[in-house]
Amino acid sequence: MSAGRTGGANRAAGPTRRGRSGSPGGGPAEGLYPIDTGTAELVLDGDSPDGWLLKINGVQSSHIVLSDPLRLDFEYMRWIVALVEEHLPPETTQLLRALHQGGGGCSIPRYLTARYPDSRQVVVELDGQLAEYVREWFDLPKAPLLRIRVGEARAVTESLTPGTRDLVVRDVFAGSRTPFSLTTVEFLRASERLLAPDGLFVANIGSAPDLVTAREEAASIAAVFPHVALVADPAMLKGRRFGNIVMAGSGVPIDGTAALTRRLLGGGVPAHFWDDARVRAWIGATAPRRDPS
pTM of this prediction exceeds 0.85: yes
The CA–CA distances, whole Å, from 180 to 195, 216, 291 equal: 22, 11, 9
Q: Give the Cα separation of 223 and 274 in Å (integer).
A: 17
Q: Set out the domains of the chain in order of their start, with CATH numbers.
A: 75-283 (3.40.50.150)
Q: Give the Cα separation of 177 and 130 in Å (integer).
A: 20
**Are the beta carbons of 109 and 98 closer than 8 angstroms?**
yes
Task: Give the bridge partners for 244, in sequence order.
Answer: 206
**Are the beta carbons of 276 and 253 closer than 8 angstroms?**
yes
Q: pLDDT 10s digit of each residue in the chain, 293 long?
A: 444 433 333 323 334 333 344 444 568 999 999 999 999 999 998 888 899 999 999 999 999 999 999 999 999 999 999 999 999 999 999 899 999 999 899 999 999 999 999 999 999 999 999 999 999 999 899 999 999 999 999 999 999 999 999 999 999 988 778 999 999 999 999 999 999 999 999 999 998 999 999 999 999 999 999 999 999 999 999 888 889 999 999 999 999 999 999 999 998 899 999 999 999 999 999 999 999 98
DSSP, res 176? T
The CA–CA distances, whole Å, from 285 to 33, 135, 168, 186, 224 equal: 45, 44, 27, 19, 16
**Are the beta carbons of 283 and 218 closer than 8 angstroms?**
yes
Q: Give the Cα separation of 260 and 280 in Å (integer).
A: 20
